[in-house]
Structures are given as structure tokens and as C-alpha cells.
Amino acid sequence: MTYTLYRHVEEQAAYLTQAIDSILAGAGSLLPELLLAIFFLLLVTLDLFKSKTVKRLLPWVALTGLFSVLVLLVLDRHVAEVQFLNLLRSDGIARYAGILFSLTGIFTILLSLQNPKIEKRKQGEGRGEYYALILMLVLGLNLMAKSVNLLMVFLAIEVVSIASYILTLTLKEEKRAVEAGLKYVLYGTLSAGVMLYGMSFFYGLTGSLDYTLVSFWRSLLEASPLMVTVAAILVFAGFLFKISAAPFHFWTPDVYQGAPMPIVALFSTGPKMAGIIVILRFVAAFADPTIANAFSDVQLFLGIAALATLAVGNFTALWQRTPRRLMAFSSVSHAGFLLMALLAFGSDYTVSVLFYMTVLLFMNFGMFLFLQMAEDNWQVRTLEDFQGMGPRMPFAGIMALLYLLSLTGLPPLAGFMGKLLVFSNVWEAYTSTSQPMLLVLLVAGILLTGAALFYYIKIPYYLFLKRNQTNENLVISLSNKLLLVLFALPLLVFFFKPDLLLHWIEKLLA
Amino acid sequence: MNYTLSSLIFLPLLAALVVLLLPTRMQQGIKAVTLGGTLLQLAVAVWLYLGFDGASVANGQTGYQFVEKLNWIGFSLGNLGRFQIEYFVGVDGVSIGMVLLTGIVGVIGVISSWNINKNVKGYFLLYLLLMTSVMGCFLALDFFLFYLFFEFMLLPMYFLIGIWGGPKREYAALKFFIYTLIGSLFILVVMIGLYTSVIDPEATAQQMGLVGQNVPASLDLIRQMQQMLQQGTIAEADMVRTFSIPAMMEPANFIPGSLLHVFSGVTLFDLPLRFVAFLLVLAGFLIKVPSVPVHTWLPDAHVEAPTPISVLLAAILLKVGGYGLIRIVYPVFPDAGAYFSTFVGGLGVLSIIYGALCALAMNDLKKLIAYSSVSHMGFVLLGLASLTNEGVNGAIYMMFSHGLISAMLFLVVGVIYDRAHDRMILNFRGLARRMPAYTAFVVVAFFASLGLPGFSGFIAELLVLLGSFSAPEATGMLPRWMAVVAVIGLLLSAAYYLWALQRMFFGKYWIFPELREKAIISDLTKREYLMLVPLAILALLFGIFPHLLLDKTGMSVTGFTELVLRNGQEQLNILQAILHK
């Protein structure tokens, strides 16, 4: 009796040591997240001080945090893949994604510093909260990119979502912001619930939450197809919501219209990239030859979603009259392109996806910076308000043109390279699998690029082609000018020398 | 390495940088820099033309002169091997004429822009960017590089029409942009398909270590590589895929199993995929040519564009379409080219007749000339589709000659528009009495365009007709009625030009009463002489001494037709199985 008890305790102890060992072994890989959490707490604490100097320092503290994470990730020497329990995996993808997310956070704060509404309003209360939440959101994004466990995915998505809900409401005295915030919370919680429900099905069917394991998928294949389909649709509803893909994109235009501009820029990049990486990990599980032939169902399902997203995004954007809503649907269409890139299975698509996301980051932030300037300084609310402004601010006008052409995907800008890589991968995949879905996607993607020109060109059209009575020059602050260049330069560099970035991504993934 | 071609491409860009740095108010300085830049470009183009050895044999894949080849972008995609994009430029008989033409028209365009006074800096910046991209297009031998320049032409053009154009300029600019963008997207699809299907044997040999890095591979080694590729003994990871157009012309460079390989057996709409790809690129370039039924952007763009931009558009931008067909479409898809020759020739004849009939119906002098461009570009298609030496030489000659003559025609329209702010044919009569010198140049331009012997247009039309007449026997392309119908097109062009001449210039002097207040009807200025005289002389020169250009193009064209006919026949035989299923 005592002996068995002793054995039992011993076993438990052994298990515990093992668990602690593996936690300790993996903990090092979570340094960026820990750093973010520490800076988050620091910001919240500093926010308690009433001193104006401290308040003024808050964004810079947040920037320091993000910048140190960025440096940490870029310089990180050890390349090996580290798994933290069976929850989080720190591999090349997660590391590169972490770099992108840190940049996203940095850019968001840089945009916020240029935003008079946020800066003025936040002199007093809530200033720390705003910047702290951005850090929190970046932390959530990092976790999303590292998750290999359904529950962890859910938790990470929730961290991101809750931060997003509050950030949407930053300017809560504006009616639009309140409407956007409410819609976002309602849709968001619903989709989270639906996703969780679907995950519970998965758990019930497989007894596991580790979706990168082949055994997980094998037991799904053995289960009743109807159940699996229902569960998959429920889970993907949550993912598609996060990347604002059709038919779960309805929140996008409203939130983009109500949230402050830096936050819109953040939404159009960060959560979208993280969501794509979650789906990428899902899809990558099918690389195992024993379940590879089940991929065609997933491909069909995601292919339809990608097609719908591309079509909805591009065609709805044609009818938009405000730049914010136009960019909302543009961001939907880019979600479609990213989804499409994931389906080029059999080709080396990860590099292309990461490349595309990098380009998306720069062009979206550039465009939103331009819109923020136009909105706050010159009260531009609709596309018509841009009328004749181009010659009055040639520099910013040309920068906007660069971003828009890159978003369309025209050379000589990196947006073209991103699309070229995605299309090439899809073509490759079609060559090796002859899946008709891929050909349909390829043709739709290319033709919709033509449609995209129609709406993106509207802004330069009003800027330069339409004339205005006044000719006085519009003044742009030096910091804004520098930021515009900061976002435009990579677009040119990554067109003329994309291999610089591609090689680096490849090295990280290896 | 010789940097002649790079200097041709980047001289205007350099001038653009200088313009960018000049303060906005130095309008004369900006104009002078632009003129200097284009004059230098012309000088280099002439030097290139003189230095080009027309006797050296070019067979489509080799024989390019002044070649510059640099690695530009290279990346490996895991198990898919390497992808390689090169800065690869060169000139052969097909492009030499276009390069010279671009140089000439570039200078004329700047002189014609001299009285632009709205946003001068922006205008000349865009103008120089346009010159760089057009020149790049004619010299690029790497498909990616070509596509880059091809797409980049759209942007300056969009703004040049959209900002400096006429009353409906926004509509015309957008229409132009959308049409050509759709065309270039078609080309993009095929470009992706091609570069994932084609390897560069030399670079692959270097990758496999059969020859040292940067060491040129011998011809034997290249053949050996191509054999190994076709036998499937080269590992996927060793293949270096390429955008090089000459590499795409060689069927042995296609990877077995790739979709565009002759043996792939893939069909779409019951056509081999290669044929579908051909039709896509064909459509892409036909929009640019433009050919009926995708020509509708052209009259709008021409009518709204300012005179110098109309000149550039007609004289060189349209040529990119025809040039693309000769440089890329036919050599890369010779099988489809032979198979669809009647279709392409038919489109050519349709353009000739339809364009001429439209021109006949126009009241706006500029629209008349725009439609005459459509009609003349039909000859390019017809000559090309014949795949005879005469026909293809004629097509190239037509592009060159039309470049000179259409520049003159649009300048002539600009002259009357500058004076009367109107160009409706019926609003003028008897202009010859007030503007004798102007009328003389109009007569020269019209007669040169309708193909009077002694002018370059005559040589071009003659060659095209000879080629298409002899095509049924010589190459088995084109039914004979096409050449006959094309001759009717010549008659029609005589009709619309002479009728316009008669209505506007002869008889008693009269202009529409409402125009009288603003119109200052005076004869040509010095600046206008400066533009029109050289063009008239050149049109005559190339009409009397056709060998000036034909000597340069001849051997390259022979190489081109041989390549297309030989490969086309071989591949068609293979594809027969699919076609007759």
C-alpha cells in the first residue's frame, strides 16, 4: 500500500520534473513575448503617474519595447526549432512573423504620434492604456503565429481581439467609433464562440488539440465526414473573420470607418498576417504523404473562400466613395490573395506568403499614413475631397501614387513582385496537381488585378487629373515626409532586389 | 562590356533626374535639359544604327549585337530550382529600326512640346520617363525586363493624357489605362507560364558544376544540356528557370512535363494550352497595336491627348505592340503562329478595311488620322501573318515608316488646332490660300501616308502586299483574297486623304464663323518647320533608298521566318494528334 503510493508519488514527481524541464527548455524561446509582457506592465504602471513628462514618454517606452523585441528577433542566433510544451512552436515562420508584428507595432505607434486626435485627446487619461494595448495586441499576434494547439490558437486570438475591441473605441466621443466598436465586439464574440464550438468538435473527434500532428488529421479522416465538415467550417469561420475574408468580412468597412487611422492600419496588417499564419500551419500539416490526398477537400473549401473574398473585395471596392471604405475592401481583396497563395500546395509557397505580407505591411501603412494626413489636416472625407490636391502637395501625392500602384500590383513596385510570386506558385501547383480550382483562382486573381486598378486609380485621378481653384501649397511636416519615404522605399527596393529579402526569409525558414 | 544600349535606355532617366533637381520656375532650363537628353539619345541611336552590322546572321536565338547581360534577380525556391531574372539587352534587325525611330520622334516630340506652359516640370519629367520605358521595351531581351518597361509606359502616358489633354481627357486616359492594363495582364499570365517552363541551359550547366561560374558554355555543352533536359536526367533542383526571350524560343529548353511543353498534352477549350497561351499574348499585344476589335481606346486617346503626346503615341507606342508580336509571340509560339496565321491576317485585313471606312466617316481631322493609324497597323499584322521574308520586312518597314509619317500627320493637325482651336474638317475651306507652306506639308504627309511611290509608306505597303500575295505558295499561310482585299484598303486610304484635302484646303478660303474671332490663321512658324522638314526628308529618304533600313533588317528577318516556319511545322506535327482528336 505505502509502496504503491510511493511509486505513485515518484511517478508524479518524475512527470513534474519532466514538465518543468521542458518548460525551462522552451522558455528561452518565449523571450520576445516575455519582453512584450514586461513592457506592457511597465506602461500600465507608468500610466499611474500624473506627471506630464512621464505621460509624454509613454509612446517612447512602448517603442523601446517593440524595438528591443525586433532587434532580439533579427539578431537571434539559434535557428533551431523550439517547442514549448505542445502549445507553442518557435520556428523560422514564427520568428519572421514576429519581426513583421514588431514592425507593425512600431509603425502603428509612429502613425499615432502623427495623429493630432490621438495625441491631443490622450494628454490626460488613457494615454498609457492606448500604447499598452498595442503592445498587448502584438503579444497576441506573436502567440497566434507560434500556436500549434487549438486551445492556444483560441487564447491568442482572444488576446488580439480584446485589445482590438478597446483600441477601436479609442476616440469614444465620436459616434462612428462607438458604432464600429459595438459592431466589432458583437461580430467578434460571436465568431469566437462559433470557433470555440468547432474546436470542441475537433477535440471530441480526435481526443487531441495539437493540429499539427498527423495523428490528429488521421483520426479526423476516419470520423464522420459530415461532423468534420461542420466542425471545420465553424473553426475556419473564426479564422476567416480575423483575416477579414468573405463571407466573414462584414465588420471590416464599419470598423475601418470608425477606428482611428493608426489602428485601422494595424488591423489591415497585423491580425491578417497572424490569421494567415495560423491557416498556413493548418495547411502545412497536409505535407505528410499519408494524408496529402485529403488536401483536395481543404483546397476546394479554402479555394471557394479565396475566390469569394477576391470577388467581394474587388467588386465592392469599386462602389466605395470614401477612402476608408475603399481601403477596407482593398484589405479584403488582399486577404483573398493571401488565401490563394496558401493553396499553391506542392510549391514552396511559405516564402512567397511571407514576402507578400512584408510588402503588404509597407504599402498599407504608407497609404494609411497618407489618408491620416489628408483626413486630419485637410478634412478629406470622401474621394472627391482629394480633387486637385496633387499639384498642391506633389511629394505626398507621388508617394500615395506609389503605394496605390503597389497595392494594384504594377511594376516597378514590390506589390507586383508579391503577386508575381503568388501567381507563379499557383501555376507551379497547377502544373503538378492539375487541380482545376487552382487555374480558376489564377485567372480570377489576374483579372481582378485589372478591376483593382479601377478603384485604386480613383485617388490619383482626383489628386492629379481633376482641377481645383486654389493653388496654395499644402504644408506637410518633416516627420510625415520622412515616414512617407520610410514606407515607400522598401516598395522600390523589394521590386528591384527582391532576392535580398527572399534569401533572408529562406535562411530563417531553413 | 559595351554600354551603348544602357546609355540609350538610361540617358532620358538621367535627364529626368536633372529636371527633378531644377527649380520649377526654370521652365526654359527644364525644356533645354529635356531636349538635350533626347538629342543625346538620338545621337547614340544613330551611332548604334551606323555601327549595327546588318550582314551578320541572326536566327532568332543568337546574333544579337551590343549585348549586355547581367544577373539582376536570382532566388531559389526550394525544390523548384533557381529562378533567374537578367538585365539582358541587345539589338537585332527587328529592333534597330524601332530604336532609331524612337530617337527621332523623341526629339521631335520635345520640340513640339515647347509651348506647353502648364506644370512644365511634371510634363517633361513624365515625358523623359516615357522615353526611357519605350526605349527599354525595344531593347530588352529578358521577358521580365520587357514587361517592366511595357507596364511602366502606361503610367506616364496616363498622366500625360489625363492632365495635359483635351476636354474629355480623364475618360480617355482611364480608358487607355484600363485597356492596356488588361492586355498586359494577359501577357503576365503567359509570362508566368513560360518562365516556369523554360530553363537556361548555360546557367543550368553552371549550377550543376559542369562549367565554372560565369564561364560561357560551349555550343556542344548547351546541346548536351538540352538533350539531358528532354531525357529527364536533370534534377528539378538543378534547373535554372529563366525569363530570357531567346531561351524561350528554343523548344528544347522547355522542361518536359511543364504545361507549355509541346508534349504536355494539356488542353483548354479543346485547344492545346500552347495555343491558348498564344491567343492570350496575341490579345495583349493586339490591344497595343491596336487591331480591330480592340482598337476603341485609340481614337479617344488620340483626340484628347495634346499634340506631342499624340505624336509619341502613334509614332512609337503603337509600335511596341507589333514589335512584341515579332520579338515574343511568334518565335515563342511558332506552332500557334502558323496555325492561326489566317486568323491574324484576317484581323489585319479587317483593321485595314474597317479603319479606312471609319476614317472616311470622320469629321474630326485628328480622329481621321487616328483611324488611318488603325488601318495602317493592319498592314503590319497582315505582313507578319504571311511569314514570308517580304511580308515580315514589310511589317517592320511599315512600323518604321508609319512612325515617321504619323508623327508628321499629328503635327500637322496640331498646327491647325493651335491656330483655330478646332480641327473639324467641315469648319475649314480653302486653307491653301492662307497657309501655302502648311498645305504643302499636309499634302506631303497625306501622300506619304497613302503610299505614293517615292515615300517610305509605299515601300512598306508594297513589301507587305508582295509577301501576302506570295504567301500561299511560299509558306502556305493566308488565303490569297486577303492580299486582294488589302489593296482595296489602299484605295480607301487614298479616298479619305484626298477627300479631306479637297474639303479643307482647296477652294475658296472660308472658316466657320464662330471660329473667326479666336482663330489667327497664319502660316508655319520656324519651330514647326523644324519639326516637319526633317520628317518629310526622312520619309522621302527611306522611300527612295529602302536599303537603308532593309539592309539592317534583312538577315534578322530571314532568321526569324526560318525559325518560325521550321519550329512551327515540327511542333504542329506533334500537336496534330490533339487538334484532330
DSSP states of B263-296 = GG--EETTEEHHHHHHHHHHHHHHHHTT-TTS-T
Chain B interface includes A509 (CB < 8 A): no
Cβ–Cβ of A410/B151 closer than 8 Å?
A: yes
Residue with cell 519639326: B531
Residues B467-476 as b or e (16 or more Cβ within 10 Å = b): bbbbbeebbe
Q: What is the pLDDT of residue B40?
A: 92
Mean pLDDT of B76-86: 72
Q: What is the pLDDT of residue B149?
A: 92
pLDDT, averaged per 10 consecutive residues of chain A (510 residues), comes to 76 81 75 90 87 84 92 78 78 90 94 82 68 93 90 92 89 83 90 92 87 81 85 89 87 89 92 92 80 79 90 90 92 92 80 92 94 88 86 88 91 90 86 83 88 88 81 84 92 90 85
Q: What is the pLDDT of residue A124?
A: 55
Q: What is the pLDDT of residue B58?
A: 62
Q: Give residue B406's domain range.
A: 335-558
How far B520 CA sits from the closest chain A CA (Å)? 28
Which of B13, B142, B196, B198 to mutate to probe the A interface, most A CBs <10 Å?
B196
User: A392: which chain B residues are within 8 Å (Cβ-Cβ)?
Assistant: none
- Out of A411, A428, A499, the one facing B147 most closely (by C-beta) is A411
Chain B interface includes A502 (CB < 8 A): yes
Predicted confidence (pLDDT) per residue in B138-157, tens digit: 999 999 999 999 988 888 99
Q: What is the pLDDT of residue A87?
A: 82
How far A450 CA sits from the closest chain B CA (Å)? 6
CA dist B301 and B157 (Å) reads: 10
CA dist A221 and A491 (Å) reads: 43
Which range is most confident: B14-28, B157-171, B314-328?
B314-328
Cβ–Cβ of B193/A427 closer than 8 Å?
A: yes
Chain B interface includes A204 (CB < 8 A): no
Note the pTM of the prediction, 2 decimals: 0.91
Q: What is the pLDDT of residue A359?
A: 94
pLDDT value at B530 more than 70: yes
CA dist B49 and B45 (Å) reads: 6
Report which of residues A69 and B263 the model is more confident about: A69
Cβ–Cβ of A465/B177 closer than 8 Å?
A: no
Q: Return the bridge partners of B85, or none.
A: B73
Measured in degrees and rounded to the nearest 5, phi and psi for residue B430 equal 60, 30
Q: Could you tell me which residues of chain B have a Cβ less than 8 Å from any Cβ in chain A?
A: 73-80, 83, 119, 122, 147-148, 151-152, 154-155, 158-159, 162-163, 169-170, 173-174, 177-178, 181-182, 185, 188-189, 192-193, 195-196, 257-259, 266
Lowest mean pLDDT of A15-19, B96-100, B354-358, B409-413, name the range. A15-19
CA dist A268 and A376 (Å) reads: 20
Structural domains of chain B, count: 1
Q: Where are the domains of chain A?
A: 291-510
Mean pLDDT of B60-80: 76
Q: What is the pLDDT of residue B409?
A: 92
Q: What is the pLDDT of residue A404?
A: 93
Q: How confident is the model at residue B99 (pLDDT cuts 50, 70, 90)?
A: very high
Q: Is residue B506 part of a domain?
A: yes
Q: What is the pLDDT of residue B78?
A: 58
pLDDT value at B91 more than 60: yes
Cβ–Cβ of A348/B78 closer than 8 Å?
A: yes
Q: How confident is the model at residue B381 (pLDDT cuts 50, 70, 90)?
A: very high
With contact defined as beta carbons under 8 Å apart, do B363 and B425 qualify? yes
Chain B interface includes A347 (CB < 8 A): yes
Which of B21, B77, B273 to mutate to probe the A interface, most A CBs <10 Å?
B77
Cβ–Cβ of A453/B162 closer than 8 Å?
A: no
pLDDT value at B59 more than 70: no
Nearest in space to A130 (alpha carbons), one of A334, A266, A288: A266
Q: What is the pLDDT of residue B80?
A: 64
For residue A503, give the chain B residue with the closest CA. Answer: B75
Q: What is the pLDDT of residue B581?
A: 60
Which of A465, A473, A497 to mutate to probe the B interface, most B CBs <10 Å?
A465
Which of B143, B178, B185, B197 to mutate to probe the A interface, most A CBs <10 Å?
B185
Report which of residues B522 and A100 the model is more confident about: A100
Q: Is residue B414 part of a domain?
A: yes
Contacts of B73 (CB under 8 A, 6+ apart): A496, A497, A498, A499, B83, B84, B85, B144
Chain B interface includes A465 (CB < 8 A): yes
Give the distance from CA B164 to its chain's centroid.
24
Burial of B53 (0-12, 13-18, 19+ CB in 10 A): exposed
Q: Is residue B520 part of a domain?
A: yes
Chain B interface includes A346 (CB < 8 A): no
Lowest mean pLDDT of A477-486, B253-262, B555-564, name the range. B253-262
Residues B500-529 as b or e (16 or more Cβ within 10 Å = b): bbebbbeeeeebeeebeeebebeebeeebe
Chain B interface includes A411 (CB < 8 A): yes
Contacts of A459 (CB under 8 A, 6+ apart): A323, A326, A383, A386, A400, A404
Cell of B324: 512584341
Residues B423-445 as b or e (16 or more Cβ within 10 Å = b): bbbebbbbbbebbeebbebbbbb
Q: What is the pLDDT of residue B118?
A: 82
CA dist B564 and A365 (Å) reads: 49
pLDDT value at B77 more than 70: no
- Three-class DSSP category at B581: coil
